[in-house]
Structure 1
């Protein structure tokens, strides 16, 4: 029953992450229509600061709390469980207040930093959006403590559903707020962006309510079981344990928001150094950060699900010194990741233009979407290999490698943006992920003592994706002319027809080519979340027929 409960909770987490990712992409479409690329740039600048402050306060604590609470529960030491929750909650509340004040009063300074050539204009655009996020900073750290508490009890379902609910309310509030300010109240783009960023508070409040309903009964149960017994741990000892476990996780989680800060500070300043206006630079940054990058995050939902399942398996095999299991887990997981990420990258590469037209009614971002398409492969490889290194007990190595990747991105931003403008920033990000993922893979080979070649693992799937690219291109071209005859000049319906038909035919071609060319086996397909069982059965039939 316990195993079944854990499996159900893990499934809920995977589904919730998938829902959150999809919602995180969908809301960009109406928001772009309401506030435009310039408004998206303002929104992205504010969120870059919000993400890094929030990561400082929250990222490692759920993991650390879950670990030490589960250990105390195993010993039935309920007094220490209650104390751990109390101490952590107080600390997170202090962090929340300090960071919220920092965000409110530091908004003008950060706004000026984003556009050094026009600090006054940047402040007029950006300050209100940053301050609209300050109330959310008061809530989210407390939510992270609640999720850590539930994780310690291995109650994954409330955490999973709260993420989905938080994202749903956030997306509704973002779109509704921007609509009310821009269309109903006829406010400015900057005011619409501020209303959109306030959606983070609405989503956090909704998630907090759901978590509170789950946590309060558990907390009462713990306090009742602890009775009058006192804890043997001091508050200082609890904080020391939390930081020892949570610090490497926090540092690893900091990389993504720091990468966002690097773009926020450098991209617009470098674009303006070429003579571009603040509004144009902000609009280009909005296309890059909230359109192209958001779409390319889609493979990470699959990588996260695969990585979360392989980490405990590699940890157990490492403890048992089971080298064969480590080898099979590493190579099988990387092949599964490539199976999902390569066709997604190919689809964005070929269909960048119709995707841009359908979602954003524009072709401004089509070249950027296509140019960053391979980022999904490298970012997924980085995430997967980070889980592997953590399973091998190397918590700080992926952190170091990710920061090297951010440094490479910073150097290339400076080198490429003056010549290639926003396309240079896109290429710098792809190459930065290439560096960090390569270093991670080298570390997995070294510390896992496994032998494999990423190139050899990827090559069969790359070859299988060639028919996919050909079918995507041909079907897109043919359906473009056919759709124009049906719908006339309605560009969005034409783009939708192109995408649906191309993905339908291309998906069938890719699955059949990978199976027929033995690029994947039935066992490897079975590892995939959601669709693995059906693809595995299909592979068994087709490969069995080919063998006979």
Structure 2
């Protein structure tokens, strides 16, 4: 009987993982690929439009992070608990009460964002155009917290299909609205790029309505709507308010440390244009273009690298807490080494290959770059290593119950970033924010790494040796890719989108092939592929 139950749980886990993996891949592909036609339709205002879009989304992302405050995960845990105890009606009671709180929370943050938009626009060096963009996004902030709670409810039932399909529907409808609105405005209508950007950001609200539709459809299909919204019995043993307060207390540290990327981007947004206006002769429109080169344009690509790296390296983080609870420091040390190895195994060659092929990569998305755009793009790609390391080390530190240290190190990083920001902008221009971010993250990375070692005593020699080996095989990969790139320029220039696609397909394929073979030869791939690495070596006759 136990085996059957275990098999069922394993099947549920596999189905859930498959649905969420498919959802994440589809969502990220759509989030990256829409920019190609969207940017092209914006014409000469493409960089300004993307800067406007990025400035609005930086603030919007922070509002989403704060407004949910970890409540969806808490709902999933509570629903799973009461279902296991055979108290399904308690799960519905709890969800209904929490929904009221989250609707109120969404209204508070949405209204605040709407009315604070002029102030946030001024800090960003924007004007009424940016105010319009932020206000269009505030509608999505209103409904996101309650929608995310419904997703958490399905997660609590180990039913990830509605969760995943709601994410896919949200992205598909959002992108369709963005592209249709932009096409009609820019190609058929007035050609006002600001209105097109406003409709593109308002698409976030339309996408969430589609997500709501999918979630309510599955509530109806599974017969849960009546249980949720019908008359319910009072449960004196359940205190939703206490659960919300407790969840906020647990979630706040994760929100603080998890908001580093958004906060650093906001510091750039709120200081770069205003500082450059004061110390240079650039016009505001020129600075908007520079900001696009610095932040909005690279982030569409760099955030994909970071997200994939974190998803690969973060698999073992829940197990880290389990080992610490069991006081298994040896197991915790191994997990830390494995997580860091997995992160470096992906991120180092990905950054190196992207830097070599930076020009065709940029061209595919935004057209042929000038020298300044290319320089800032390469700098942003290199900066990814700092963003990725911080994004993995911070949750690992919290997983071993060192939350206060994680927050202190985060605060030190923000302080360093804030102190260096203005002098570096004044002396280095658009490169200043990139360097201040690297230093601002580099210090907490070093502190977190050292604290993890102090607590778990993992072997720094092993980490160094594995990192060195990854760097060596990455360099061996870079050589043929760089030679290909140099020689192929005599055949085809990477200044057109189609030509750049050919560069990426051949050069990227060559890099993946060389790195893959070297990773198999050195057995580094075993960490990522497991037993499949051995089968691949046998097929390729590699010892």
The TM-score, its normalising length taken from structure 1, stands at: 0.89
Q: Give the total of aligned pairs.
A: 528
Match in the other structure for 1:460 = 469
Q: Say if 2:381 is the partner of 1:381.
A: no
Q: Is the 8 A contact 2:310 2:343 kept in 1?
A: no
1:108 to 118, 129, 148: 118
> Equivalents in 2 of 1:48, 1:95: separation in Å?
20
Closer/same/farther in 2, CA of residues 100 and 240 from structure 1, 3 Å limit: closer
Closer/same/farther in 2, CA of residues 208 and 228 from structure 1, 3 Å limit: closer
Closer/same/farther in 2, CA of residues 240 and 513 from structure 1, 3 Å limit: same
SS in 1 for 2:127: helix
Q: Deviation of residue 401 (structure 1)?
A: 3.1
Closer/same/farther in 2, CA of residues 179 and 226 from structure 1, 3 Å limit: closer
Q: Say if 2:140 is the partner of 1:136.
A: yes
Match in the other structure for 2:432 = 424
Match in the other structure for 1:127 = 131
> Equivalents in 2 of 1:220, 1:400: separation in Å?
45
Match in the other structure for 1:265 = 270
SS in 1 for 2:357: helix
194-203 or 229-238, which moves further after superposition?
229-238
Closer/same/farther in 2, CA of residues 104 and 173 from structure 1, 3 Å limit: same
Q: Is the 8 A contact 1:338 1:461 kept in 2?
A: yes
Q: Deviation of residue 540 (structure 1)?
A: 6.2
1:510 to 508, 515, 525: 515
Q: Report Cα offsets for 1:99-120 as digits up to 9, x if no partner.
A: 22222222222222222xxxxx
Match in the other structure for 2:535 = 537
Following superposition of structure 1 onto structure 2, how do residues 284-433 of structure 1 map, counting pairs within 5 Å?
A: 284-364=290-370, 365-433=373-441
Closer/same/farther in 2, CA of residues 38 and 521 from structure 1, 3 Å limit: closer
Could you tell me which runs of 5 or more consecutive residues in structure 2 were left unpaired when the two chains were aligned: 1-7
Q: Is the 8 A contact 1:174 1:195 kept in 2?
A: yes
Match in the other structure for 1:118 = none
Q: Report Cα offsets for 1:405-437 as digits up to 9, x if no partner.
A: 333333332122222222222232333333333
Aligned-pair RMSD on alpha carbons? Answer: 2.6
> Equivalents in 2 of 1:246, 1:331: separation in Å?
26
Q: Is the 8 A contact 2:258 2:391 kept in 1?
A: no
Q: Deviation of residue 403 (structure 1)?
A: 4.0
Match in the other structure for 1:526 = 529
Q: Is the 8 A contact 1:78 1:222 kept in 2?
A: no
Match in the other structure for 2:9 = 2
Q: Deviation of residue 222 (structure 1)?
A: 5.8
Q: Deviation of residue 80 (structure 1)?
A: 3.6
SS in 1 for 2:86: coil
489-498 or 376-385, which moves further after superposition?
489-498
Q: Say if 2:23 is the partner of 1:13.
A: no
Q: Is the 8 A contact 2:98 2:240 kept in 1?
A: no
Closer/same/farther in 2, CA of residues 338 and 89 from structure 1, 3 Å limit: same
80-89 or 471-480, which moves further after superposition?
80-89
1:66 to 66, 76, 88: 76
47-56 or 336-345, which moves further after superposition?
47-56
Closer/same/farther in 2, CA of residues 537 and 327 from structure 1, 3 Å limit: farther
Q: Deviation of residue 89 (structure 1)?
A: 0.9
Q: Is the 8 A contact 2:93 2:228 kept in 1?
A: no
2:54 to 27, 32, 44: 44
Q: Deviation of residue 399 (structure 1)?
A: 4.0
Closer/same/farther in 2, CA of residues 276 and 205 from structure 1, 3 Å limit: same
Q: Deviation of residue 75 (structure 1)?
A: 2.5
Q: Report Cα offsets for 1:5-26 as digits up to 9, x if no partner.
A: 1122123223322222222222
Match in the other structure for 1:483 = 492
Q: Report Cα offsets for 1:238-286 as digits up to 9, x if no partner.
A: 3222223332333333333222221210121122222211111111112
Q: Say if 2:65 is the partner of 1:55.
A: yes
324-333 or 383-392, which moves further after superposition?
383-392
Closer/same/farther in 2, CA of residues 73 and 241 from structure 1, 3 Å limit: farther
> Equivalents in 2 of 1:336, 1:448: separation in Å?
19
279-288 or 231-240, which moves further after superposition?
231-240
> Equivalents in 2 of 1:477, 1:430: separation in Å?
30
SS in 2 for 1:374: helix
Could you tell me which runs of 5 or more consecutive residues in structure 1 were left unpaired when the two chains were aligned: 116-121, 528-532
Match in the other structure for 1:245 = 250
